[in-house]
């Protein structure tokens, strides 16, 4: 039985994605839930599993192609579950195969777009290849002139036409995003054209991935929209480290890892409940503050594709043990490209922990439309004057960035001190479990 494997529903707001890589070949014997393609959307990069096991008899997508929900990815013969011995095809079969896959020329100005390929008695329109990343851009002279007049480097514009061709609308949309603050340019200003860097030496241009483009636009928009203030403090986590080592074995046996981040999830949820303004969003159109009654906290995860922020939901209702297990699983899921757009949505606060990499302090950018984010740096041993003497204590640097339109400096200081004091008394947290 031949089964069509289609792209499943991705997310409520996502109906398509770009194929980064096809992970199977014709003739492969695949298992149920085996990944068949790697897909990139505006929100995430993840692998799409097959709901059926069997032999791959047809592949209907190619690398670089944009596919929509419901579109056929591959066809699988579910009655074949074992690989057959390899046979060397005879010359006539090869000739027949070459004849079946020969392209058919379609005359007219749209021949390139409408060229079809005959395969197994069916026809399909091949995908439009992405524009080369050599720095050349397909665009009409009038479009290039428009870009020059607007002060836009046309090589930075993502083309929506065939073969990545840039249209006048693409240039206008790009300019509008920059003017409204959706990019790194200051709000209300148009980007100045870049100089020709090649005049000083060799350069290479690479197209931004969807995720990197979205990160650039979102952080640029947040920086322009949110008047940031960052406050810094340190927590003495000497006792917390003893607590972590003592209970870490129990958490590991349960399938998780007790980390500072998993403990901070619980601490921050309690802090958000005590300070509702930090669990809110600002609606300037209606002049209202939206207070959220749920506590969904995003945790920034460093991946080879960029910084992704999966969300742990209903944090306040879960124990540190539950949070440790869930955080371990979702971080692994994110790094292994199994994350879905739903996993990245709905956060009301964010934690960004760079302690595993290093550094003393940093100022994280608020993850708009949230109003605050907690930065965590590497803990270090420091001499501290305590109980009348100098002692070695393990100190954790913390940085809190927040939206000054809704949060005043005094509130920011109180919130951060609340977190510091909770970290310095870990056994109180344990009693609350």
DSSP 8-state code for residue 341: G
Measured in Å, how far apart are the chain's first and last C-alpha atoms?
A: 53
* Distances from the Cα of 20 to the Cα of 17, 36, 204, 207, 379, angstroms: 9, 11, 21, 13, 38
Tokens of 74: 């591959």
Closest CA to 320 of 159, 404, 432: 432
How many Å apart are CA 256 and CA 331, to the nearest integer?
A: 11
C-beta separation of 355 from 260 below 8 A: yes
**From edge to edge, which strands make up the β-sheet containing 66-68?**
45-49, 35-40, 16-22, 66-68
> Which residue, 17, 49, 11, is CA-closest to 333?
49
* Per-residue b or e along 6-30, where b marks 16 or more CB atoms closer than 10 Å to that residue's CB: bbeebbeebeebbbbebebeeebbb
Q: Which residue has the tokens 């990069």?
A: 45
CA distances in angstroms from 1 to 34, 95, 123, listed in the order given: 19, 28, 21
Q: Residues with Cβ < 8 Å from 28, sequence gap 6 or more?
A: 55, 56
CB 432 within 8 A of CB 269: no
Give Cβ neighbours of residue 383 (< 8 Å, ≥ 6 apart). Answer: 390, 391, 392, 393
Gap between the Cα atoms of 432 and 422, Å rounded: 12
Helix or strand holding residue 287 (H, E): none
Single out the catalytic residue among 404, 406, 417, 425: 404
Q: Sign of dihedral through CA atoms 277, 282, 287, 292?
A: negative
Is position 404 annotated as part of the catalytic site? yes
For residue 157, cis peptide bond before it (omega within 30 degrees of 0): no
The three-point CA angle 69-72-76 to 5° equals 135
d(CA 180, CA 183): 8
> Which stretch of DSSP H or E encloses residue 92?
helix 91-100
Q: Indicate which residues carry an active-site annotation.
A: 404
């Amino acid at each position: 039985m031949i089964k069509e494997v289609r792209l499943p529903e991705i997310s409520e707001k996502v109906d398509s994605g770009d194929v980064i890589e096809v992970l199977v070949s014709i003739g492969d014997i695949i298992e149920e839930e085996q990944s068949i393609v790697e897909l990139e959307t505006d929100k995430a990069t993840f692998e799409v599993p097959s709901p059926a096991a069997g032999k791959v008899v047809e592949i209907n997508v190619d690398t670089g192609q944009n596919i929509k929900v419901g579109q056929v990815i591959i066809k699988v013969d579910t009655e074949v579950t074992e690989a057959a011995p390899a046979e060397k095809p005879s010359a006539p079969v090869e000739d027949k195969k070459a004849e079946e896959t020969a392209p058919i020329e379609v005359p007219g100005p749209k021949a390139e777009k409408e060229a079809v390929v005959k395969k197994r008695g069916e026809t399909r329109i091949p995908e439009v290849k992405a524009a080369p990343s050599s720095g050349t851009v397909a665009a009409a002279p009038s479009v290039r002139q428009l870009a020059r007049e607007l002060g836009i480097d046309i090589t930075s514009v993502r083309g929506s036409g065939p073969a990545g061709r840039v249209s006048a609308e693409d240039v206008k949309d790009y300019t509008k995003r920059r003017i409204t603050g959706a990019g790194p340019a200051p709000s209300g200003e148009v980007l100045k054209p870049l100089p020709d860097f090649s005049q000083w030496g060799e350069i290479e241009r690479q197209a931004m991935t969807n995720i990197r483009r979205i990160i650039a636009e979102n952080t640029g928009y947040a920086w322009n929209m949110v008047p940031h203030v960052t406050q810094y403090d340190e927590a003495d986590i000497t006792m917390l480290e003893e607590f972590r080592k003592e209970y870490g074995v129990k958490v590991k046996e349960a399938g998780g890892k007790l980390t500072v981040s998993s403990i901070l999830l619980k601490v921050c949820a309690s802090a958000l409940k005590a300070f509702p303004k930090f669990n809110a969003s600002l609606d300037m159109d209606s002049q209202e503050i939206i207070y959220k009654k749920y506590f969904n906290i995003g945790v920034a995860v460093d991946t080879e594709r960029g910084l992704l922020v999966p969300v742990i939901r209903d944090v306040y209702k879960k124990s540190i043990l539950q949070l440790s297990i869930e955080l371990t699983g979702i971080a692994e899921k994110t790094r292994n490209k199994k994350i879905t757009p739903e996993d990245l949505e709905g956060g009301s606060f964010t934690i960004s922990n760079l302690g595993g990499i290093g550094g003393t302090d940093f100022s994280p950018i608020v993850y708009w439309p949230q109003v605050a984010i907690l930065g965590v740096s590497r803990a270090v041993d420091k001499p501290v004057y305590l109980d009348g003497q100098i002692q070695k204590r393990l100190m954790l640097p913390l940085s809190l960035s927040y939206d000054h339109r809704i949060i005043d400096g005094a509130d920011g200081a109180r919130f951060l001190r609340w977190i510091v004091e909770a970290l310095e008394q870990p056994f109180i947290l344990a009693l609350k479990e």
